[in-house]
Structure 1
Amino acid sequence: MTHVVTANCQACRFTDCVTVCPVACFHGDEERLYIDPDVCVDCSACIPACPVGAIKEEFDLSGDEEEWIQINAEKASDLPVIRSKQPPLPTADARRSELGLN
């Protein structure tokens, strides 16, 4: 099993998860983060670190979230590794409110 970044990351890109990852499995673009399933060691350290609950274990995904397994795998292979904390997107606070997490 692997961990998966889901839709909650969209328009946020909080990188708190990156700081606790022991294997640098996070990749990012201008909108969000993705987990490389070939690098993730399933330690689960990233799950509580995400302030918007965007990271889930593969077996905890709902049916409509399962598409994120493939999306993470495909996108991670094409994007740079994110190894350190970065500022969240300017839309992050609004997205967090939209998700009911403020």
Structure 2
Amino acid sequence: MSWIILIIAGLFEVAFASCLGKVKETSGTEMYCWFAGFLVSLTISMLLLIKATQTLPIGTAYAVWTGIGAVGTVLMGIFFFKDPVSFWRIFFIFTLIASIVGLKSVSH
């Protein structure tokens, strides 16, 4: 169950990073709404990370959490924010995913 909670926490990390990206693109009321989404996503992500680290090793949990956030944020950037795509960028995303899977497989 802790791994599921950790994955959800990582997805909320993607959400707060994406909201932060939208904050810089907007203004007025819309900016404040995205900022509120950032705060809510950040809070949920941190609370779920805390919950997951009650049974998982902190080093592993934090690495997986940041890895999910990094991969998800890069993919969000590519698909929604028109970030550049290159062979090396995709290659290193896959190596990061392989590292996350490796950490999960060697953790108790």
- TM over 0.5: same fold? no
- Of structures 1 and 2, the larger Rg is shown by 2
Q: From the two aligned structures, give the one with the greater helix fraction.
A: 2
